[in-house]
Chain A
Amino acid sequence: MREFRYERAADPAAAVALLAAAPDGAFLGGGTNLVDLMKLGVATPDVLVDVRELTSREVADLPDGGLRIGAGVPNADLAADRRVRERFPVLAQALLAGASGQLRNRATTGGNLLQRTRCGYFTDVTKPCNKRSPGSGCGALEGVHRNHAILGQTIAGSDDPATCVTTHPSDMAVAMVALDAVVRVLGPDGEREIPIAELHRLPGSDPSRDTTLRHGELVTAIDVPALGMPSRYRKVRDRASFAFALVSVAAALDVRDGVVRDVRLALGGVAHKPWRASAAEYVLRGMPATEASFAAAVESELEAATPLRDNAFKVPMARNVVVRTLLDLAGRDTERELA
């Protein structure tokens, strides 16, 4: 592990100032991802600014019935929050579908959003990876990629500096995307709000960047606006617990008189970022809440899929998981649940 300094700051602004002065530094939250990557030599910060106790650990009510979640709220606490379980079951379920109890106790809400990919080529410094070592190529394109992306990859040859076919690992972020969360950040130039759909990015021509955050910007809170419809998270993985998603779906559905009034749909395990299924949502609004409608909607989303040699199974898996989840939600009466 590279030598580094460990710093604590008096408040978030001081932490931001410390990091602004350290181009190779990093914020330390729960450390469940960063400390691991430092041991592996994948992350090599020269300064760690500890923010785990610095950002809020409160979940506060917003006037519209939404919640403001402090970036320092541990994943376990957020999943256990009664308001989250009642108003945003999709979020509680996504949190509990991730990692293990020990990790959820330690990991923070802000840090969860900023997890790095678990691609085996990214975490092995002896292998090519454009994300870890820009320009070195992509080992996964022709290598082991069974659990890689089927949407939005950059596929330009193994040696091309733009190629990246990996996925974002977070479950929580998939739910947050379906919930239209807003990420509040404090940076050297002050505060700004980022709609979560604009936080994570596709690899494009620069796979090294996971998000649109600038160096020194600290996530301070995440606002989740009121939802007003039933929601749930469903995750398919290789074993029943403590595994990353092959495919996951965060869904919310508002059905009145058999017709889809509103729907939110986001997919995990399929792309470099949590994938908001906007095409499927567009197709579904106003349609009868039937299996045929749900299938047609998700198929329109998956038309854009470009599966790799060994992960084409994810396309029908995503289709089936979405249809099943929407059917579950359609079987419930929105008016009664919200009464």
Chain B
Amino acid sequence: MRITTTVNGTEHEVDDVWAGESLLYVLRERMGLPGSKNACEQGECGSCTVYLDGEPVCACLVAAGQAIGREVTTVEGLATEGELHPVQEAFVEAGAVQCGFCTPGLLVAAHDLLERVPDPSDLEIREALAGNLCRCTGYEKILDAVRLAAARQARP
């Protein structure tokens, strides 16, 4: 199967994709974009969160064929021209990263939250990140990072 998908603004075309491959596998192993992480493979941990046609989804549960003709944005697409996105800056500054495995998914989820809700309450942050599991940080620094990014967004 041939998969043609626009990823981070660039059209990618890959051949000989097996129907059983996920969008996540195609991104990582065939398109050279290893930012999205492969952890639970069950849609539970959120490490593979990417935008599919503008909405965050778990790429591990998207069958390759369902990505044909779609637009995908991965964590690699958040930064522009070498400049980290403010959400990424905030994660670095707040120390919201330990082992880093959950970070790409959390960045996409937090990025989406702040696009929709510029000044989220703690409850809104918690609910928006409910689908992203972190085994290291205990989440406090991640909440700090999202609050920081939101505050900076309000006062640029």
Binding site for B on A (CB under 8 A): 1, 3-6, 8, 28, 30-32, 35-36, 38-39, 48, 50, 52, 74, 76, 99-103, 105-106, 240-242
Binding site for A on B (CB under 8 A): 1, 19-20, 22, 41-43, 46, 49, 52, 55-58, 61-66, 109, 112, 126-128, 130-132
Q: Which residue of A lies closest to B41 (CB)?
A: A39
**Set of chain A residues within 8 Å of B61, measured between Cβ atoms:** 30-32, 35-36, 103, 106
Q: Which residue of B lies closest to A47 (CB)?
A: B19
Q: Shortest CB–CB separation between residue B45 and chain A, in angstroms?
A: 10
How far is B52's CA from A145's CA once the two chains are assembled, in angstroms?
37
**Contacts known (A6-B65, A242-B130); A102 close to B19, Cβ less than 8 A:** no
Contact of A48 among B46, B62, B63, B128 (CB under 8 A): B63
Q: How many A-B residue pairs have CB under 8 A?
A: 83
Contact assessment for B19 and A100 in the assembled complex, using a CB-CB cutoff below 8 Å: no
Contact assessment for B63 and A102 in the assembled complex, using a CB-CB cutoff below 8 Å: no
**Set of chain B residues within 8 Å of A242, measured between Cβ atoms:** 130-131
**Set of chain A residues within 8 Å of B130, measured between Cβ atoms:** 100-101, 241-242
Contact assessment for B49 and A102 in the assembled complex, using a CB-CB cutoff below 8 Å: yes
Contact assessment for B20 and A1 in the assembled complex, using a CB-CB cutoff below 8 Å: yes
How far is B22's CA from A245's CA once the two chains are assembled, in angstroms?
29
**Contacts known (A3-B20, A6-B19, A102-B49); A39 close to B42, Cβ less than 8 A:** yes
Contact of B131 among A4, A6, A50, A102 (CB under 8 A): A102
Contact of A106 among B19, B22, B42, B62 (CB under 8 A): B62
How far is B19's CA from A28's CA once the two chains are assembled, in angstroms?
12
Q: Shortest CB–CB separation between residue B76 and chain A, in angstroms?
A: 18
Contact assessment for B109 and A101 in the assembled complex, using a CB-CB cutoff below 8 Å: yes
**Set of chain B residues within 8 Å of A4, measured between Cβ atoms:** 19-20
Given contact pairs A101-B112, A106-B57, enumerate 4 new A-B contacts (beta carbons under 8 Å). Answer: A31-B66, A50-B63, A102-B109, A242-B130
